[in-house]
Amino acid sequence: MGEFVHVEVADQIATIRLDRPKMNALNSQMQRELGEAARAVDTDPEAHAVVVYGGERVFAAGVDIKEMVVMSYADMAAHSRALQGCFTAVAAIGKPVIAAVTGYALGGGCELALCADFRVAGESAKLGQPEIQLGLIPGAGGSQRLPRLIGPARAKDLIYSGRHVAAAEALALGLVDRVVPDAEVYAAALAWAGTFVGGPAVALRAAKQAVDQGLEVDLDTGLEIERLQFSGLFATDDAKIGMTAFADKAQPKFTGR
């Protein structure tokens, strides 16, 4: 699709592949291509699930510091909206998204992984938000998504210190969901994504929206979001197929409609 971000669809799983040697530093062009890729797979009916992958050696070492160091306040005030927007496009993909994390996922790389529903990490992976060591804070969602995932105190520890977290600690913190040998990261992410292929696509999108939107509001509002999503699914073919198959003690064959 782009020079630095490619999309491949195989077996109804889309892979968003980061490919900017040597460390997948996320410059402006790569950010733009990432947003375009996210929006493309979101609307692709052939893609039932998505894997975000940086390659065998590194996920993404962060936003391109060499590009940022020359920016003024006015420059970044204008650019930061686009920076957050491309990551939000990944978080908004209405399908199960799995980040396959190898090597470093630091700064913007960690923030990108946070946009996925699940994270599979290699045993030697390192994650973190080291922006404080540059006199900055996370700017692509880390100060918001990280505490929602692992809690405010743990998030503050990582953000205040800027330290790198090894895979085993990341698993204990809940920052990643599975740790596998380095050579198996992509295969493990594909296998997990494969469990969603052939599933009720509309219901999966509704479930993701209900959870993600519900986290941003009070309980009563969240319950109303759930009620509306739940009720709306009764207008889908998949709900009829699923309930009929259950009553008939058969396996449902969902159509995604």
Active site members = 111, 131
The answer to whether 84 and 77 have CB atoms below 8 angstroms apart is: no
Taking the CB of residue 254, how many other CB atoms lie within 10 A of it?
20
DSSP state of 11: T
Q: Which residues, in sequence order, are CB contacts of 127 under 8 Å at separation 6+? A: 101, 104, 105, 106, 109, 110, 113, 121, 164, 165, 167, 170, 175, 176
As a whole number of angstroms, the distance between CA 121 and CA 54 comes to: 12
Chain length of the chain: 257
Question: Could you tell me where the DSSP H helices lie in 53-139?
Answer: 65-68, 73-91, 108-114
